[in-house]
Amino acid sequence: MTLATNDTDLGASASGQAKARPDAHVGLVLFALAMGGFAIGTTEFAVMSLVPYFSAGLGIDEPTAGHVISAYALGVVVGAPVIAVLAARLSRRTLLIGLMAVFGIANLLSALAPSYGWMLLFRFLSGLPHGAYFGVAALVAASLSAPNRRAQAVARVMLGLTVATIIGVPFANWLGQALGWRWGFGIVALLALLTMGLVYAFAPRDKVEPGASPLRELGALKCRQVWLTLAIGAIGFGGMFAVYTYVASTLMEVTQVAPSVVPAVLCIFGLGLTAGTLAGAWAADRALMPSIGGMLLWTAAALALFPFAAGNIWTASIVIFLIGTSGGLGAMLQTRLMDVAEDAQTLAAALNHSAFNTANALGPWLGGMAIAAGYGWTSTGWVGTALALGGFAIWILAVLDDRFGAKKRR
């Protein structure tokens, strides 16, 4: 295996390790990294499906409970760049283990939260390691892959998150219904502990990159293409979260299904997310920017169908699957950042998840505003469509900027 030539931060020594490491060992590394994604995905998405339960438990209404989701997202937005810069001189293996430790403790505290105010704080703390973990894990995965398979390597790490939506989220939702919503957070703390052990056992024992420093990482902020790529995720990905945050409530209030049906529909969403991640990564390794644009338009179309489909469990399930496929945007944008970030790979990769969780904050907030204004639960579909099209407009700007910039360099 060879290293992607434009991933300069990974260095020649990492390339040599990638060549010498057998494929079986690479699979174990990716599995360990994906387990962290499974833990993160379980808590990130399960909390959305547990809104009806912890809102009652904490004595708040459901739109207010959506602020708990935004608090986690804000933690990601703040934590990803700060940790990436301050931890520039730590080895990636050490950093991954430390991030999972913080993540596990914060989720345990969330399970024990005595009030709404404490819950907001603990969810914010839980979000701090999220972006840095995925960013560093993606770089480790890319260092083990061939140049034309980087997106698929990143997608294998992200599969931990998508599988969480198939298994972890429905299980946490069931656990929340059967034993109480606090167990939905407690199980995540155990998953974080398992991830620490796997990363310790299988992740490459790397050394700090020569010349690594907070100042070098901050160099990513000088590149306009980095900012445009981040903006695509921050706006365009918000559409999915606008719908998914309130999907449990919509199913019970509009579709009028029993609460026991909700986990099955969440599993269908997870299947869509997995399919979109795999298909999107395959397409991205062949035509990256066109694939990003196509995914944004696909997302807008799927979200626009939601208001029409929500009244029937069969049509709602199909459309929720299609909305789930928009998750393929994650690996695409992560790969794009590897191309444009030059020496500041860690910060750029972490900022990708800040952007996604800006979307995670923006989507539920705008969706909640539409519901509170009296437009109904299904209005989240129209909010989501507008956000996806906003992301597509930014994608057009990025393509034009890239083309004009290339002409100036000739």
Full set of structural domains in the chain with CATH? 8-409 (1.20.1250.20)
312: number of Cβ within 10 Å: 13
Distance between CA atoms of residues 220 and 215, nearest Å = 10
Q: CB of 327 within 8 A of CB of 276?
A: yes
> Smallest Cα–Cα separation from 33: which of 171, 185, 135?
135
Taking phi over 0 as left and psi of -120 to 50 as alpha, with beta for the rest, 205 belongs to beta
- Cβ(377)–Cβ(249) below 8 Å: yes
Query: How far apart are the C-alpha atoms of 77 and 360, rounded to whole Å?
Result: 10
Asked whether 35 and 203 are in contact (CB, 8 A), the reply is no
Dist. CA 344–CA 34, nearest whole Å: 23
Question: How far is residue 150 CA from its own chain's centroid?
Answer: 17
**What pLDDT, on the 0 to 100 scale, is given for residue 14?**
38
Lowest mean pLDDT among 45-49, 175-179, 305-309, 358-362: 45-49
Q: What is the pLDDT of residues 332-383, one digit of tens each?
A: 998 888 888 776 777 777 888 788 878 877 898 899 899 989 899 999 999 9
pLDDT at 401 over 50: yes
CA distance 122 to 102: 11
Task: Please tell me the predicted confidence (pLDDT) of residue 12.
Answer: 35
Q: Which of 20-34, 106-120, 225-239, 348-362 has the lowest mean pLDDT?
A: 20-34
For residues 235 and 355, give the distance between their C-alpha atoms in angstroms, rounded to a whole number: 8
Helix 169-179 and helix 51-58, axial crossing angle in degrees, nearest 10:
40
User: Alpha-carbon distance 289 to 386, whole Å?
Assistant: 21
